[in-house]
Structure 1
Amino acid sequence: MEPATAPPFSAAICQQARLTRDARFDGLFFTAVRTTGIYCRPVCPAPTPHERNIVYFSSAAAASAAGFRPCLRCRPEAAPGSPLHRARSELVRAALRLIEDGALDDAPLATLAARIGVGERHLRRLFAEELGASPLDVAATRRLLFAKQLLIETAMPVTTIAGAAGYASVRRFNAAFVAAYGRPPRDFRRTRQPARTTAAAIELTLPYRPPYDFRALLAFYARRAIPGVEIVDASTYRRSVIVDGRSAMIEVDASPHRDALRLRVHGAAAPALGALVARVRRMFDVDADPRAIAAKLRGDAWLRPLVKRWPGQRLPGAWDGFELAVRAVLGQQVSVGAARTLAARLVQRHGTAHPESAAFGLGALFPSPSTLAEADIEAIGLPRARATAIRAIAQATLDGRIGFGAEQTLTDFVARLAALPGIGAWTAHYIAMRALSQPDAFPAGDLVLRKLAGDGKPVSERAMETRAEAWRPWRAYAVMLLWRSAA
Structure 2
Amino acid sequence: MEEKKRRIYYAAFRSKDRRFDGQFFVGISSTGIYCRPICRARLPKEENCRYFKTAAEAEQAGFRPCLLCRPELAPEKSFTETGEEIAIQTARLLEEHCGSGVSITVLAKQLACTDRHLRRVFAAAYHVTPVAYLQTCRLLLAKSLLTDTDLSMLEVAMAAGFGSLRRFNELFKKQYHLAPTALRKELKKKREKNEVLTVGIGYHPPYEWKKMLDFLSLRAIPGVEVVQNDCYMRTMSQVDRQGIYRSGWIKVKNNPVKSVLLVMLSDNLITVIPQILGRIKCLFDVYCDPEIIYTALLSMNTIKSGLCVKGTRVPGCINSFELAVRAVLGQQITIKAAKTLAGRFAETFGTPIETTIQGLSYVFPTAEKIVGLGTTGESKIASLGIISTRARTIKALAQLFYQEDNYCQVYADPEKEIKKLLAIPGIGVWTAGYIAMRAMGCTDIFLETDYGIKKAMEPMTTKEMLQQAEKWRPWRSYAVMNLWDFLSEKGH
Are 1:344 and 2:339 matched, yes or no?
A: no
Look up the equivalent residue of 1:352 and give its one-letter code. T
State the aligned residue count.
475
Q: Give the Å deviation of 1:468.
A: 2.7
Q: 1:366 — aligned with what?
A: 364
Look up the equivalent residue of 1:230 and give its one-letter code. E
Alignment of 1:83-482 (within 5 A): 86-102=81-97, 106-192=101-187, 193-194=190-191, 196-198=193-195, 201-244=196-239, 245-255=245-255, 258-302=258-302, 305-306=305-306, 310-354=309-353, 356-357=354-355, 359-373=357-371, 374=373, 375=377, 376-400=380-404, 403-450=407-454, 452-453=456-457, 455-460=458-463, 464-482=465-483
368-377 or 472-481: bigger deviation: 368-377
- Counterpart CA distance in 1 for 2:437 and 2:64 is 37
Cα–Cα, structure 1 residues 303 and 394, in superposed 2: closer, same or farther, change >3 Å? Answer: farther
Helix, strand or coil at the partner of 2:251: strand
Q: 1:486 — aligned with what?
A: 487
Helix, strand or coil at the partner of 1:239: strand
Cα–Cα, structure 1 residues 445 and 66, in superposed 2: closer, same or farther, change >3 Å? Answer: farther
Cα–Cα, structure 1 residues 304 and 37, in superposed 2: closer, same or farther, change >3 Å? Answer: farther
Cα–Cα, structure 1 residues 143 and 304, in superposed 2: closer, same or farther, change >3 Å? Answer: farther
Q: Give the Å deviation of 1:382.
A: 2.2
Cα–Cα, structure 1 residues 296 and 83, in superposed 2: closer, same or farther, change >3 Å? Answer: closer
Gaps of 5+ in 1: none
Cα–Cα, structure 1 residues 363 and 468, in superposed 2: closer, same or farther, change >3 Å? Answer: same
Asked if 2 retains the 8 angstrom alpha-carbon contact of 1:33 and 1:49, the reply is yes
Q: Give the Å deviation of 1:36.
A: 3.9
Correspondence for 1:28 among 2, 19, 23: 23
- Counterpart CA distance in 1 for 2:282 and 2:37 is 24
Asked if 2 retains the 8 angstrom alpha-carbon contact of 1:239 and 1:250, the reply is yes
Q: Give the Å deviation of 1:464.
A: 4.6
Helix, strand or coil at the partner of 1:252: strand
Cα–Cα, structure 1 residues 66 and 359, in superposed 2: closer, same or farther, change >3 Å? Answer: closer
Root-mean-square deviation (CA), in Å? 2.6
CA offsets per residue over residues 296-315 of structure 1, 9 Å max, x none? 2225554784466x331111
Look up the equivalent residue of 1:421 and give its one-letter code. P
- Counterpart CA distance in 2 for 1:399 and 1:408 is 15
Are 1:55 and 2:54 matched, yes or no?
A: no
Asked if 2 retains the 8 angstrom alpha-carbon contact of 1:64 and 1:137, the reply is no
Look up the equivalent residue of 2:314 and give its one-letter code. L
Cα–Cα, structure 1 residues 299 and 129, in superposed 2: closer, same or farther, change >3 Å? Answer: farther
Scaled by the length of structure 2, what TM-score is found? Answer: 0.89
Asked if 1 retains the 8 angstrom alpha-carbon contact of 2:255 and 2:262, the reply is yes
Q: Give the Å deviation of 1:243.
A: 2.4
Look up the equivalent residue of 1:21 and give its one-letter code. K
Asked if 2 retains the 8 angstrom alpha-carbon contact of 1:153 and 1:195, the reply is no
Q: Give the Å deviation of 1:387.
A: 1.4
Helix, strand or coil at the partner of 1:442: coil
Look up the equivalent residue of 1:317 and give its one-letter code. G
Aligned identity (percent) is: 37
- Counterpart CA distance in 2 for 1:464 and 1:83 is 27
Q: Give the Å deviation of 1:235.
A: 0.8
Gaps of 5+ in 2: 240-244
Cα–Cα, structure 1 residues 142 and 103, in superposed 2: closer, same or farther, change >3 Å? Answer: closer
- Counterpart CA distance in 2 for 1:266 and 1:28 is 32
- Counterpart CA distance in 2 for 1:427 and 1:17 is 43
- Counterpart CA distance in 2 for 1:337 and 1:28 is 41
- Counterpart CA distance in 1 for 2:154 and 2:80 is 33
Helix, strand or coil at the partner of 1:191: helix
Asked if 2 retains the 8 angstrom alpha-carbon contact of 1:218 and 1:234, the reply is no
Asked if 1 retains the 8 angstrom alpha-carbon contact of 2:411 and 2:440, the reply is no
Q: Give the Å deviation of 1:147.
A: 0.6
